[in-house]
């Protein structure tokens, strides 16, 4: 079965009543956890993006605190990738380049201060460098004043 295009879905939703839209949204939320999380963000947290980003950064910090730097490097890599995967999911919910910069800067800062010898592992060093590249890419889409402020923070990473 082939999925409809976004344009076709939009046209079908425009023709639907409010009650049908509510039913469709609820059914979508029941279908997959990610859909439910996105709807939660859009309905309850999108108005206070700064608070949302603080919660995401706090979550990232807590996850980094749970990592034992003396642990087997294999498990440390898996945990770092898991944290990054979750961070990227939360960034995707916002759809904002500024949110991407804030969260990735926090991730890199936590990685630096965690005590994990990530520069000794080529895989972890590449992971870190990729995040720095993503930050630079997202920075190019921001206002110049914000770019300057975030460049200062990036210099600390």
pLDDT tens-digit readout, 38-77: 989 988 999 999 999 999 999 999 999 999 877 888 999 9
pLDDT tens-digit readout, 98-116: 999 999 999 999 999 998 8
Q: Across 51-55, 143-147, 153-157, which has the greatest mean pLDDT?
A: 51-55
pTM of the model: 0.86
C-beta of residue 124 within 8 angstroms of C-beta of residue 77? yes
Q: What is the pLDDT of residue 110?
A: 94
Q: Where are the domains of the chain?
A: 47-156
Burial of 111 (0-12, 13-18, 19+ CB in 10 A): buried
């Amino acid at each position: 079965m082939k999925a409809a295009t976004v344009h076709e879905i939009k046209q079908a939703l425009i023709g639907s009543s409010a009650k049908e839209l509510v039913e469709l949204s609820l059914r979508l939320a029941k279908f997959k956890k990610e859909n439910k999380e996105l709807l939660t963000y859009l309905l309850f947290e999108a108005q206070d993006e700064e608070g949302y980003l603080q919660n995401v950064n706090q979550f990232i910090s807590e996850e980094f605190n749970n990592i034992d730097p003396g642990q087997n490097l294999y498990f440390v890599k898996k945990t770092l990738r898991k944290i990054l995967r979750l961070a990227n999911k939360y960034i995707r919910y916002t759809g904002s380049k500024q949110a991407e910069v804030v969260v990735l800067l926090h991730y890199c800062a936590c990685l630096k201060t965690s005590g994990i010898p990530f520069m000794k592992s080529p895989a972890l060093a590449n992971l870190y460098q990729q995040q720095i590249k993503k930050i630079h890419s997202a920075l190019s889409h921001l206002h110049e004043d914000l770019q300057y402020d975030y460049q200062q923070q990036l210099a600390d990473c």
